[in-house]
Every structure is written in structure tokens, then in C-alpha cells.
Amino acid sequence: MVAFTTFGTETFRELHTPFELSYRAQGLEPQRHGLPLHTAKKWNVMLAADGFKNPQRCQNVRIKRYPTERDFLHAIKVVGASASVASPSGRAAPISRHVPAL
């Protein structure tokens, strides 16, 4: 038996929306901040393709709220979920001051 946990496709949507709005407000093509995440169905397909017999899943949705955006970003960094597919050049657009608070 192999057991693991992972994030779902809705993870960090609160983060992706302001980044997208910021890029668009600055006339830039949005970049995704974070890694691509798979649906539970996709995980089953991938596991079956790799030879796992009868893959099963248990889905548990948890919503965590933070008092400030800074607290939210700090929590992401603490759990090691700060990897991104955004440009590594360091020229990614900062979040605009015009983006409403989360």
C-alpha cells in the first residue's frame, strides 16, 4: 500500500486571483504562481497508468482563513508551498496596489 497527501486544484485560488488581476492591470500576460495541481480523477488515471491496482482516494476539503494577506503568504512559505512556475527572471509583476484585499 502507498499513501500520500497532496493539494487539490482549488488550493491557493485566493492567491492566483490577485496575481492575475495585477498582471492584467499592468498590461502583462498573467503567469501562474504555484505549481500545476491535479484533480483526484487525474491522480487515479496516473496511478493506474503506473501499474497501481485499484487506486482509491479519500478527499477532505479544509478551509483555513488568515487575518491578513501577510499571514497567508507566511503560512504558504512555512509549509514549503512557495514553488512557482512563474518566470525565474525575477521580473514577475508585483501585486498592484489597486487589487482589492482578499
Taking only the tens place, the pLDDT of each residue in 36-73 is: 888 888 988 999 999 998 888 888 888 888 898 888 88
Predicted TM-score (pTM) of the model is: 0.57
User: Is the pLDDT confidence value at 90 over 80?
Assistant: no
Residue 84: inside a domain: no
Residue 85: inside a domain: no
Contact predicate 87/29, CB 8 Å: no
Q: Quick one: residue 68, left, alpha or beta (phi over 0 = left, psi -120 to 50 = alpha)?
A: beta
> CB neighbours of 92 closer than 8 A, spacing ≥ 6?
31, 33, 86
Residue 88: inside a domain: no
Contact predicate 8/39, CB 8 Å: yes
Residue 62: inside a domain: yes
Residue 83: inside a domain: no
Looking at the structure of the chain, the number of domains it has is 1
User: Could you list the residue range(s) of the whole structural domain that residue 56 is in?
Assistant: 13-78
Residue 1: inside a domain: no
pLDDT averaged over the chain? 78
